Amino acid sequence: MEIWNRHIECMDRQELRRIQGERLRETVERVYFNVPYYRNKMQESGLGPESIHTTDDLHRLPFTTKQDLRDNYPFGLFAVPMSEIVRVHASSGTTGKPTVVGYTRNDIATWSEVMARTLTCAGANRHDFIHVAYGYGLFTGGLGLHYGGEKIGASVIPVSGGNTIRQLQLLVDFGSTVLACTPSYALFLAEAIEDARIKRDDLKLRVGVFGAEPWTENMRREIEEKLRIKAIDIYGLSEVIGPGVASECLVQDGLHISEDQFYPEIIDPVTLEVLPEGKTGELVFTTITKEGLPLIRYRTRDLTTLRYEKCRCGRTLVRMEKCLGRSDDMLIIRGVNLFPSQVESVLLEMSEIKPHYLLIVDRVNNLDTLELQVEVDEEFFQDKISQLQTLRQKIQTNLESSLGLGIRVNLVEPKTLERSEGKSKRVIDKRKL
Partner 1 sequence: MIVHQLSVFLENKSGRLTEVLEALGSERIKITALSVADTSEFGILRMIVSDPAKAKELLKERSFTVNLTEVISIMAPNEAKYYAKVLRILSDLDLSIEYTYAFSVGEKSVIILRCSNTEEALKALKDHELDLLKASDLYKL
Residues that bind partner 1 (CB under 8 A): 376-378, 381-385, 388-389, 410-416
Determine the 3-state secondary structure of 254 from DSSP: coil
Minimum distance, C-beta of residue 376 to partner 1, in the bound complex (Å): 5
Measured torsion, CA atoms of residues 116, 117, 118, 122, in degrees rounded to the nearest 10: 100
Minimum distance, C-beta of residue 383 to partner 1, in the bound complex (Å): 3
At residue 261, what is the residue type? Answer: Q
Question: How do the residues of the chain divide into helix, strand and coil, expressed in percent and rounded to 5?
Answer: 35, 25, 40
Q: Which long-range contacts (CB under 8 A, 24 or more apart) does 326-332 make?
A: 326/301, 326/302, 327/269, 327/282, 327/301, 327/302, 327/303, 328/301, 329/426, 329/427, 330/301, 331/359, 331/361, 331/427, 331/429, 332/212, 332/213, 332/214
Minimum distance, C-beta of residue 424 to partner 1, in the bound complex (Å): 15
Nearer to partner 1, 384 or 423 (CB): 384
Nearer to partner 1, 172 or 412 (CB): 412
At residue 216, what is the residue type? Answer: T
> Euclidean distance between the first and final Cα of the chain, in Å?
30
Q: Which long-range contacts (CB under 8 A, 24 or more apart) does 39-42 make?
A: none
Beta-carbon contacts of 416 under 8 Å, excluding residues fewer than 6 positions away, are 373, 375
Minimum distance, C-beta of residue 378 to partner 1, in the bound complex (Å): 5
Distance (Å, whole) CA 278 – CA 258: 18
Minimum distance, C-beta of residue 420 to partner 1, in the bound complex (Å): 16
Determine the 3-state secondary structure of 353 from DSSP: coil
Distance (Å, whole) CA 180 – CA 193: 16
Nearer to partner 1, 88 or 412 (CB): 412
Minimum distance, C-beta of residue 413 to partner 1, in the bound complex (Å): 5
Minimum distance, C-beta of residue 369 to partner 1, in the bound complex (Å): 15
Contact 36, 77 (CB under 8 A): no
Nearer to partner 1, 95 or 387 (CB): 387
Nearer to partner 1, 201 or 378 (CB): 378
Minimum distance, C-beta of residue 292 to partner 1, in the bound complex (Å): 48
Q: Mind giving me the DSSP string for 287-319?
A: ESS-SSS--SSEEEEEEE-EE-SPPTTS--S-E
Nearer to partner 1, 271 or 382 (CB): 382
Nearer to partner 1, 82 or 428 (CB): 428
Nearer to partner 1, 73 or 381 (CB): 381
Minimum distance, C-beta of residue 422 to partner 1, in the bound complex (Å): 20
Number of helices followed by number of strands (H, E) in the chain: 11, 21
Minimum distance, C-beta of residue 348 to partner 1, in the bound complex (Å): 20
Between the CA of residue 359 and those of 125, 279, 327, 356, 397, what are the distances in Å? Answer: 43, 31, 18, 10, 16
Nearer to partner 1, 119 or 409 (CB): 409
For residue 157, the cross-strand partners are 131
Nearer to partner 1, 329 or 377 (CB): 377
For residue 181, the cross-strand partners are 210
